[in-house]
């Protein structure tokens, strides 16, 4: 019975055509405030991304004039009888075509217009609420513009990425990390509220208190559940200047021990901790003085051989201390006290002071230099990994000192730890609750209430920095590392810097981790099979899948991630069937829509028995079927595992 049912599914899927085609002229009749374009230049731009590894040409490009434009487009896709997909593109900084689509429309979120539910005037700048310490921004706003707007009020967001020319919606859909994450958590932990267009075309406001399931799904959700059109970001007083320090290590254990010590100080007063902790690996002498490391003086270049590198590898600790002009007289003492606890090579201390905005925008300055040399718009086969603390030394031996060896490297290799489950400060709404003076019994206990107020300051919501309710996946350890190989493929005749070589080396690194049992998780993940995605999400897969079916049931959004395949059947329509099919002398109608197959095989590791106790009456078989209840009842006495499906030789990728 099981084999026959599997063959029935296979025959069904083999004759399904999931190719979604829509005449672009149909899209032009949507009637949007912005511009829906089929201009070849717009289409070409949307076909590429920063990675320059894949290319996928959309049917049209939307430059939205408002959040309603986006909702109108997505709703049209959701209700379309033929169907088309929708992908939101920020600054185009994805690596493997995650924001691309070939059967739909790309929304240029960071293009010419700034849509809005931000207030009067659809092109409003970020709106800063000084008293409330937050800023409302368009989802396509670049972080550099958010910074400039908030600095006008002496404020700034708490958590950053190293590169600021990324969209707010883009980083919140992935996590948003940098050297401040140990102190404030990732960017997704510093959001109060979102406006989101779901895969049904519904424009919804969500937060910890309102539509919380959607709120947590979207944060780190890889664009699968909705398009962020507005975000309310937490702010703090902005420092004026930064003391930027780099020191070198030749011993990996000493290097990581010092990094882990520094991030453990996150709960200390600001005078007793650094504000930013990162680091990078130096596997060749060219890298130590490259674009990322231009901090070191070119008049006094650092040589690996001069500092006794162990195995030809050095490690650089990068730390900063924020300060104001008014506290400038104490910064030297504070830094000196913190440095005394570290065990770096004494002769390798490099220090500079600069304005706060210049430090945050440091990578853009390097970008301008690379653009001048035609070295920016090249393929970027980047690989970003979250590595458990317990296995970081194994990765050092196998990758930094093994696979990478002393090969010349065309880009930085970042490495720094983050805390996973440290609770943030109490939310201001909770703080207000504590400041009331009257209990339900009518008694007045002012002293106790003010005692609580003194302990719990107004701040970010009381949830973990890496909240398990979000869609982000991290290793199952309290502390984990980011290891980011940010390499560029260069056409300079050197094999070790070619795209093919670097791509193969990335695969070798992933294979090494798999063989060594190092349970890494990709950050900015890229997989090509359902099995790989299920392995990536692990225990979160069922929740991720259920959220997808709730908020984007036709799998319209962000198909470039290659997690789900779009459904061709429109919402609320009857699914066409492959006539009546006979299975063990029972006539059963088989729906052709790929949605039902995915519902059966992708939602869990096997088909769960239905709550219906009896199989369908053959007399009820019709050429059309609107749900898979009958199949569930038919499967009440069997389990069809994905393993047996794949062993049958019927590759899922051929059918979905």
Please give the structure tokens belonging to residue 550.
């709730």
Secondary-structure percent of the chain, ordered helix, strand, coil, rounded to 5: 35, 20, 45
Q: From residue 386, how far is each of 127, 318, 521 by CA, in Å?
A: 34, 19, 5
Long-range contacts for 572-579 (Cβ within 8 Å, ≥24 apart)?
Answer: 572/79, 573/81, 574/624, 574/625, 574/626, 575/624, 575/625, 575/626, 576/624, 577/623, 577/624, 577/625, 578/11, 578/12, 578/15, 579/623
Known catalytic residues are 93, 162, 278
How far is residue 588's CA from residue 581's CA, in Å, rounded to a whole number?
Answer: 5
How far is residue 115's CA from residue 85's CA, in Å, rounded to a whole number?
Answer: 20
How far is residue 295's CA from residue 115's CA, in Å, rounded to a whole number?
Answer: 39
The closest alpha carbon to 423, from 369, 459, 382, 463, belongs to 463
CB atoms within 10 A of CB 442: 6
How far is residue 297's CA from residue 90's CA, in Å, rounded to a whole number?
Answer: 35
For tokens 């664009």, what's the residue?
223
Please give the structure tokens belonging to residue 24.
């672009």
Bridge partners, residue 388, by sequence: 480
Residue 40, classed as helix, strand or coil, is: helix
Strand order, beta sheet including 479-485: 349-355, 241-249, 314-323, 276-282, 413-419, 479-485, 383-388, 521-522
Contact 100, 47 (CB under 8 A): yes
The closest alpha carbon to 167, from 293, 49, 319, 32, belongs to 49
Pairing label, strands 226-237, 203-207: unpaired
């Amino acid at each position: 019975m099981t084999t026959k049912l599997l063959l029935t599914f296979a025959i069904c899927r083999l004759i399904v055509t999931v190719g979604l085609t829509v005449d672009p002229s149909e899209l032009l009749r949507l009637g949007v405030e912005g511009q829906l374009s089929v201009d070849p230049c717009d289409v070409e731009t949307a076909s590429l991304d920063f990675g320059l590894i894949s290319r996928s040409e959309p049917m049209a490009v939307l430059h939205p004039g408002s959040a309603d434009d986006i909702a109108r487009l997505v709703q049209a896709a959701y209700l379309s009888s033929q169907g088309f997909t929708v992908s939101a593109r920020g600054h185009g900084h994805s690596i493997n075509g995650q924001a691309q689509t070939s059967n739909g429309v790309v929304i240029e979120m960071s293009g010419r217009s700034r849509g809005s539910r931000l207030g009067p005037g659809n092109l409003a700048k970020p709106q800063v609420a000084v008293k409330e310490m937050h800023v409302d921004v368009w989802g396509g706003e670049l972080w550099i513009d958010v910074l400039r707007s908030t600095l006008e009020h002496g404020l700034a967001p708490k958590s950053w990425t190293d590169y600021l020319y990324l969209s707010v919606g883009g980083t919140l859909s992935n996590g948003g990390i940098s050297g401040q994450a140990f102190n404030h958590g990732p960017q997704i932990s510093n959001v109060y509220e979102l406006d989101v267009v779901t895969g049904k075309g519904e424009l919804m406001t969500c937060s910890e208190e309102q539509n919380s399931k959607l709120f947590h799904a979207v944060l780190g959700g890889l664009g699968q559940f909705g398009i962020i059109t507005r975000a309310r970001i937490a702010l703090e007083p902005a420092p004026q200047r930064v003391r930027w320090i780099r020191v070198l290590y030749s011993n990996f254990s000493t290097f990581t021990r010092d990094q882990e010590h520094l991030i453990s100080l996150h709960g200390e007063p600001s005078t007793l901790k650094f504000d930013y902790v990162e680091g990078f690996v130096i596997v060749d002498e060219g890298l130590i003085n490259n674009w990322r490391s231009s901090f070191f003086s070119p008049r006094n270049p650092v040589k690996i051989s001069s500092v006794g590198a162990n195995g030809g590898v050095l490690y650089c600790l990068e730390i900063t201390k924020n300060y104001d002009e008014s506290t400038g007289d104490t910064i030297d003492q504070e830094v000196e006290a913190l440095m005394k606890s570290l065990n770096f090579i004494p002769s390798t201390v490099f220090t500079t002071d600069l304005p706060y905005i210049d430090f945050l925008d440091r990578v853009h300055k390097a970008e301008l230099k690379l653009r001048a040399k035609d070295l920016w718009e090249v393929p970027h086969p980047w690989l970003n990994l979250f590595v458990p603390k317990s296995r970081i030394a194994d990765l050092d031996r196998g990758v930094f000192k093994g696979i990478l060896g002393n090969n010349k490297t065309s880009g930085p290799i970042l490495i720094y730890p983050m805390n996973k489950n440290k609770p943030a400060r109490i939310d201001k709404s909770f703080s207000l609750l504590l400041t009331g003076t009257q209990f339900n019994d009518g008694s007045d206990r002012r002293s106790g209430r003010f005692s609580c107020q003194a302990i719990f300051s107004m701040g970010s919501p009381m949830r973990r920095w890496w909240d398990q309710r979000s869609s982000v996946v991290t290793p199952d350890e309290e502390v984990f590392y980011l290891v980011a190989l940010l390499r560029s493929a260069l056409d300079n005749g050197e094999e070790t810097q070619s795209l093919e070589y670097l791509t193969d080396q990335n695969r070798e690194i992933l294979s090494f981790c798999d063989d060594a049992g190092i349970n890494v998780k990709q950050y900015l993940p890229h997989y090509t099979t359902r099995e790989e995605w299920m392995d990536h999400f692990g225990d979160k897969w069922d929740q991720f899948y259920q959220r997808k079916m709730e908020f984007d049931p036709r799998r319209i959004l962000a198909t470039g991630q290659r997690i789900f395949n779009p459904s061709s059947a429109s919402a609320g329509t009857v699914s066409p069937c492959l006539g009546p099919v006979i299975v063990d002398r029972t006539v059963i109608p088989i729906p052709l829509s790929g949605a039902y197959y995915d519902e059966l095989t992708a939602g869990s590791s096997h088909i769960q028995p239905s709550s219906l106790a009896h199989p369908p009456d053959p007399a009820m078989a019709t050429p059309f079927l609107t749900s898979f209840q009958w199949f569930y009842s038919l499967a009440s006495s069997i389990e069809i595992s994905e393993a047996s499906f794949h062993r049958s030789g019927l590759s899922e990728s051929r059918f979905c």
